[in-house]
Amino acid sequence: MEKIKFRLVWFDSFGAKSTCTFMNTPDVSVLIDPGAAVMQPSFPGSWSQKVTWKNEAKKTIKEASREADVIVISHYHYDHFTDFDEELYKGKLLLVKDPNEYINDSQRGRAEAFYNNLSNFFGGVQLMKLLREREVKKYPDPLENLPLAKNRDYGEYKERKKELLKKGKKRFLERVKRWNKSKLIPELKFKDCTVKFADGKDFHFNKTKISFTRPFFHGIEYSRVGWVISTTITYGKEKIIHSSDLEGPVIEDQAEWIIKEDPDVLILDGPSTYLIPFMLNLINLRRAIENVCRIIRETRKLKLIIYDHHLPRDRKFKERVKEVYDVAEENGKQVLTAAEYMGKTPVVLKVQKE
């Protein structure tokens, strides 16, 4: 790409959990998901090493933020946003996941704390004084927006899947009740910081368009960990997508969306293979692999996939998704971790050898 430039600020393959990416066009500079977190206990390396990587990530992210006009927050997990840092957010337009709906309880709590800190620092007012009453709203079943996933044939797993979806829908309806009982967090506008909710919206900066998906499940259908928004930046015929946490993508309709968008570059998180079999079963791993292979085969413009986040927390990640790399080679496309794109070895492999 000639007009859209990107820099991989920090990713899991560097040693701390993150998908922080800097992008700029002739019109605007954008920092996506400015957060970092310490790796899990099973990740190779000592605790002090992991803390050092996290601190280095935070420092690098802060430095990148100085160049940004816009900051995107796709959801409220600490490896995707930082609460709170004056230097990070001062003078910025924040395009963020709506904290009022399509959000689980823990992320709602983090969002309240975050926007209270923003309000206190930049506005000199507590968030509770800005909260608004809301009207009760009906929410359609999210599965109705996922026809490919809904109609997938699971074979012998069919009855178990039906049972899980039934339980998931019940949890969703309980969440809807909580959303309707909560007060509305408003968009914020202070002298040195503006917050706009981005779900399903487009924002234009001269010839640059920044588009956000409607809330996507963070992983499988009715995921307990909530929802995210994915980001697309377009300038002329050039396009780049940052998926955030789609876990693969594990849902077929999200892969279909990527194929239809057909970006030049795709920054894609992978499945959490380090959680097999506890939080990722082999059926959903198979779905994630099939979906990436579809993306590789059926896109025309796409030449580069940065395949990072979740995946390179596992020493055997390349073995687990070997088919993805094979299909990419057959189709003349590059699939690289952020570290490999930078000409380095992913930390999970490097530390293993030391």
What are the tens digits of pLDDT across the range 194-208? 999 999 999 999 999
- How many other β-carbons are positioned within 10 Å of the β-carbon of residue 163? 10
- Which positions ≥6 away from 23 have C-beta within 8 Å? 4, 5, 6, 7, 29, 30, 32, 233, 240, 242
pLDDT on residue 353: 53
- Output the domain CATH number for residue 344: 3.60.15.10
Look at the chain and report how many structural domains it folds into: 1
Mean pLDDT of the chain: 97
The pTM of the full predicted model, rounded to 2 decimals, is 0.97
Q: Provide the residue count of the chain.
A: 354
How many whole angstroms separate alpha carbon 43 and alpha carbon 313?
Answer: 6
pLDDT band at 276 (very low <50, low <70, confident <90, very high): very high
pLDDT on residue 352: 63
How many whole angstroms separate alpha carbon 162 and alpha carbon 157?
Answer: 9
pLDDT at 354 over 70: no
Mean pLDDT, rounded, for 7-32: 98
pLDDT band at 286 (very low <50, low <70, confident <90, very high): very high
Enclosing H/E stretch for 258: helix 252-261
Helix (H, G, I), strand (E, B) or coil at 102: coil
Share of the chain above pLDDT 70, in %: 99
Mean pLDDT, rounded, for 302-327: 97
Mean pLDDT, rounded, for 131-152: 96
Domain enclosing residue 171, as ranges? 5-353
- Which positions ≥6 away from 251 have C-beta within 8 Å? 146, 148, 149, 216, 217, 220, 221, 287, 291
